[in-house]
Amino acid sequence: MQLLSKHTDEELMVAVKNGAIEKAAILFDRYHVRIFNYLSRLALNKEVGEDLTQNVFLRMLKYKHTYKEQARFQSWIYQMARNVFADHYQSMKKTMRSQTPIESLAELLPEHDDARQVEMENRLHLSLQKLNEEQRELLVLTRFQQMKYEEVADIMETTVANIKIKVHRAIHKLREIYFETEAYE
């Protein structure tokens, strides 16, 4: 198993595509936490994030034939995660409430001893929730997942310049919402 872990993501996915399904476990080990964090932040719910993460890896196996060998695996799996989230969002659109209780947001935050820090993070996540879907996704990918603009552009099938502009606008909007929220407290 240790020898297999030295392969690149792309080599492993090509092997999975060619029938070596057992190598998908290595890709799962490498990506499931990142995909879970991404989807949990988008959905603002850990349980939904867990379910959607499982769906991503099931789809990875189901649609392994669509992987192009020259493509970056990370971009391909995140595009799949976006699609899984979009499908979930569309199916839940009618039943979703406009506001998620702050208790749900608190579950997404790491535990801190400093109450002021927790309060600031709660306000940040509440502000993040008030962004539109695209802005929230851009910030989750670039800030929380720490992806490069080039990778995000691949995932969202647009240009790097467009991503930079949209991220700048999303940060500006988040800042506005954050300080509005702070002013009301």
Instruction: For the domain made up of 1-96, give the CATH fold.
Output: Rna Polymerase Sigma Factor; Chain: A (1.10.1740)
Distance CA 82, CA 155 (A): 8
pLDDT of residue 107: 52
Domain 1-96 and domain 99-185, same fold? Reply is: no
Cβ contacts of residue 19 below 8 Å, gap of 6+?
Answer: none
User: pLDDT averaged over consecutive 10-residue blocks of the chain (185 residues)?
Assistant: 70 94 94 94 88 95 92 93 87 52 49 65 82 90 90 91 94 87 63
Query: Domain 99-185 falls in which CATH fold?
Result: Arc Repressor Mutant, subunit A (1.10.10)
Q: Quote the pLDDT of residue 80.
A: 94
For residue 111, count CB atoms less than 10 angstroms from its CB and return exposed for 0-12, middle for 13-18, buried for 19 or more.
Answer: exposed
Task: Find out whether 122 and 106 touch, Cβ atoms under 8 Å.
Answer: yes
Q: Where are the domains positioned within the chain?
A: 1-96, 99-185
Specify the pLDDT at position 42. 86
Question: Would you state the pLDDT for residue 41?
Answer: 87
Instruction: Specify the pTM.
Output: 0.68
